[in-house]
């Protein structure tokens, strides 16, 4: 029940840090956490995280009566062999800072006017399989240059059960000069954790700060808002950050100006709490959580993050105070490939993520070239179809460990994509998405057919970013594979589409990318990337954007350099920033000679467009296409998506007679592509 209430109510607290004249003071860019609250996205969360109204004159709460709750942490260091592969000492300096800040340790930088929250952090000593570990997973990957639309890939690379561990990712950079972000309580399990740039971690090594980036982000992970949420608001307890003893703040404080007082509606009227970790002031003056914030943190731990601090979990993760670490930890073999299904003749990258201090690697790749390797992160070519085993043996001076995954790599023939032209106008509401695929990576708000746009056409497709609070999540609209080489060699080759978008606030924007792959999805390159004013087609508005016919833009993207590719993957990716509705329509791939498509088909009955009879059938099948269009291509697939019949026609053809007596009994799907690019789908049943 809890998950159903909070599944889509996830806040990603993002903030960027920019060095000022090379000194330790920072200017923190806007954090998206407060923007989400201003649109009411966390009201249901607040019904779960019960906030206590604190009054220092009436409340006799004593912090030492509350038991300390310890959070086990696993650090995933995602690097490319550079300075971002930070040391154990730098990681431990971050743990030290967190415990000073959340514990108000006397004599430390965290010993301010606030309270001991009674929360502590521990670098995990036991991994999910019960093995001894230093609590650090190091993975060499280009994902160290972290992009918001690749957030899910970071978790695919390395992730430990978030019911038992706080997943702390350390990366080289984050696009947009962001310093870090965190999932709010209630995020999908596989999206839970925090991400921080390496130079903002701890106080040693590559760090240029005092380590308060993680303190701020873990405040969000534990359920805290910014102190300036909703500005001055009206009620200091039921408004703003939902904490009574943090004075209201009109705007983020970026300078440590003692006595700053941006709101006067609190009684008594007190200055802004510039020293609070949940404001935007620099590390130099942040030093406090309040008693009210501590209450909210513990309400989160008692109501949502309920297992991670329990004694049984501390014992199983090695964070129990009675745990005695062995003299050394044995090496533990582990690896991952982000591309396990690849096309024939492709290479795939293997990432070693073995635990502890490995000094040698011995790989074996069934069906691969080379078949063995001693590299830490080899790239392997597969030239024959099939499922192949991969094994890895790692060693140090004390011993070795091996791991084997059967059928780990699946190699499939590189079949040609669909012949061009391709067109999707979303005009047949119930049929359009049969030729497109939606990848809803966070199981939240995603693409949907819409019929409210003010255009001649009836339907388009949209995503509602106004209510999509899972900031940074990527929702993909994937085209079927297409064959660029099916266009005449002397013809042009273009991707065309229409879009409409408006922002809900001048300061932030959603992002639309179009990504293309010519190597069966191993690598994607951006061929379209817009946000902010470059994406907007309508005026900024806080109400849901519904474009009229004048609020659309069209683009022609020249794809001629790739015209020899016979299997190309294209996908449209929306990266939400809590902006507004984004619409797409009239997606076309071809030679630039756009076919004449009907502008409205309100009177078309899809059930009468394609007739297949007899249905069910045992031996013969007749297929008729009704109307002025002709059949350009037919494909029949089984319920698993496997192609059992496929044929193209050069001459106009409106009916087909097939013999199906050799097909096994069961359900099948017929897909007809017409001469003008329409796609019709029909289900048939073979029975005997």
Q: What are phi and psi of 605, to 5 degrees?
A: -100, 110
Q: Which residue's entry shows tokens 């998206």? A: 32
> Dihedral sign, CA of 265, 267, 271, 277?
negative
Q: In angstroms, rounded to a whole number, what is the distance separating the alpha carbons of residues 630 and 654?
A: 5
Whether the Cβ atoms of residue 520 and residue 382 lie closer than 8 Å to each other: no
CA distances from residue 461 to 90, 424, 572 in whole angstroms, order as listed: 47, 10, 11
Q: Catalytic one among 217, 291, 427, 565?
A: 217
Beta bridge partners of 119: 69
Q: 43 — alpha (psi -120 to 50), left (phi > 0) or beta?
A: alpha
Q: In angstroms, rounded to a whole number, what is the distance separating the alpha carbons of residues 553 and 536?
A: 9
157-190 burial code (b ≥16 CB/10 A, e <16):
bbbbebebbbbbbbbbebeeebbbbbbbbbbbeb
Strand, helix or coil for residue 315: helix
Reduced 3-state DSSP string for 208-251: CCCCHHHHHHHHHHCCCCCCCCCCCCCCCCCCCCCCCCCCCCCC
CA distances from residue 519 to 231, 468, 680 in whole angstroms, order as listed: 49, 32, 28
Q: Quote the Cα angle for 332-338-341, to 5°.
A: 115
What letter does residue 543 receive in the DSSP assignment? S
State yes or no: is 476 an active-site residue. Answer: no
Q: In angstroms, rounded to a whole number, what is the distance separating the alpha carbons of residues 23 and 6?
A: 41
- Positions annotated as catalytic residues are 217
């Amino acid at each position: 029940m809890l998950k159903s209430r909070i599944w889509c109510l996830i806040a990603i607290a993002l903030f960027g840090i920019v060095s000022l004249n090379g000194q330790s003071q920072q200017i923190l860019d806007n954090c998206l956490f407060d923007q989400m609250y201003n649109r009411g996205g966390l009201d249901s969360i607040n019904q779960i995280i019960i906030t206590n109204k604190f009054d220092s004159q009436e409340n006799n709460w004593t912090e030492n009566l509350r038991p300390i709750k310890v959070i086990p942490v696993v650090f995933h260091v995602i690097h490319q062999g550079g300075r971002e592969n930070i040391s154990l000492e730098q990681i431990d300096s971050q743990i030290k800072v967190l415990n000073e800040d959340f514990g108000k340790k006397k004599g430390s930088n965290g010993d301010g006017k606030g309270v001991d929250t009674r929360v502590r952090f521990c670098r995990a000593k036991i991994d999910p399989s019960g093995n001894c570990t230093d609590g650090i997973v190091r993975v060499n990957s280009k994902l160290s240059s972290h992009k918001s639309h690749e957030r899910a890939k970071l978790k695919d690379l390395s992730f430990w059960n978030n019911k038992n561990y706080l997943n702390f990712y350390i990366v080289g950079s984050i696009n947009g000069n962001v310093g870090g972000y965190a999932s709010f309580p209630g995020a999908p399990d596989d999206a839970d954790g925090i991400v921080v740039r390496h130079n903002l971690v701890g106080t040693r090594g590559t760090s240029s700060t005092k380590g308060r980036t993680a303190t701020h982000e873990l405040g969000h992970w534990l359920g805290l808002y910014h102190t300036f949420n909703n500005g001055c608001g009206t009620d200091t307890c039921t408004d703003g950050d939902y904490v009574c003893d943090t004075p209201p703040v009109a705007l983020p404080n970026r300078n440590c100006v003692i006595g700053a007082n941006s709101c006067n509606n609190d009684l008594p009227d007190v200055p802004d709490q510039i020293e609070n970790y949940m404001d935007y002031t620099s590390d130099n003056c942040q030093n406090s959580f309040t008693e009210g914030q501590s209450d909210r943190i513990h309400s989160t731990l008692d109501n949502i993050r309920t297992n991670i601090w329990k004694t049984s979990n501390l014992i199983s993760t090695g964070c129990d105070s009675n745990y005695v670490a062995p003299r050394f930890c044995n090496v533990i073999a582990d690896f991952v490939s982000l591309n396990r299904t690849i096309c024939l003749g492709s290479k795939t990258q293997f990432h070693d993520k073995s635990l502890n201090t490995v000094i040698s690697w011995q790989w074996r790749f069934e069906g691969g070239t080379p078949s063995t390797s001693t590299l830490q992160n080899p790239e392997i070519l597969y030239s024959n179809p099939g499922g192949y085993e991969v094994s890895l043996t790692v060693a140090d001076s004390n011993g070795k460990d091996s791991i084997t995954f059967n059928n780990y790599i699946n190699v499939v023939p590189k079949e040609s994509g669909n012949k061009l032209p391709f067109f999707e106008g979303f005009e047949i509401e119930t049929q359009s998405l049969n030729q497109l695929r939606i990848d809803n990576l966070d199981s939240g708000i995603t693409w949907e057919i819409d019929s409210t746009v003010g255009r001649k056409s009836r339907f388009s497709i949209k995503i509602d970013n106004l209510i999509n609070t899972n900031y940074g999540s990527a929702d993909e609209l994937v085209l079927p594979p297409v064959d660029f080489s099916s266009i005449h060699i002397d013809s042009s080759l273009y991707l065309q589409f229409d879009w409409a978008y408006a922002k809900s606030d001048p300061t932030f924007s959603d992002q639309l990318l179009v990504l293309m792959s010519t190597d069966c999805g191993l690598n994607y390159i951006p061929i379209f990337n817009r946000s902010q004013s470059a994406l907007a087609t309508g005026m900024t508005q806080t109400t849901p954007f519904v474009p009229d016919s004048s609020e659309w833009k069209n683009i022609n993207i020249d794809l001629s350099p790739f015209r020899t590719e016979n299997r190309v993957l294209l996908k449209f990716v929306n990266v939400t920033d809590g902006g507004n509705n984004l619409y797409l329509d009239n997606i076309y791939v071809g030679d630039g000679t756009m076919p004449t498509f009907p502008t409205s088909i309100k009177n078309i009955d899809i059930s009468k467009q394609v007739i297949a009879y007899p249905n069910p059938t045992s031996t013969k099948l007749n297929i008729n296409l009704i109307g002025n269009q002709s059949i350009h291509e037919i494909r029949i697939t089984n319920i698993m998506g496997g192609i059992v019949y496929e044929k193209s026609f050069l001459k106009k053809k409106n009916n087909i007679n097939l013999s199906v007596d050799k097909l096994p009994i069961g359900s099948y799907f017929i897909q007809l592509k017409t001469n003008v690019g329409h796609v019709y789908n029909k289900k048939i049943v073979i029975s005997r």
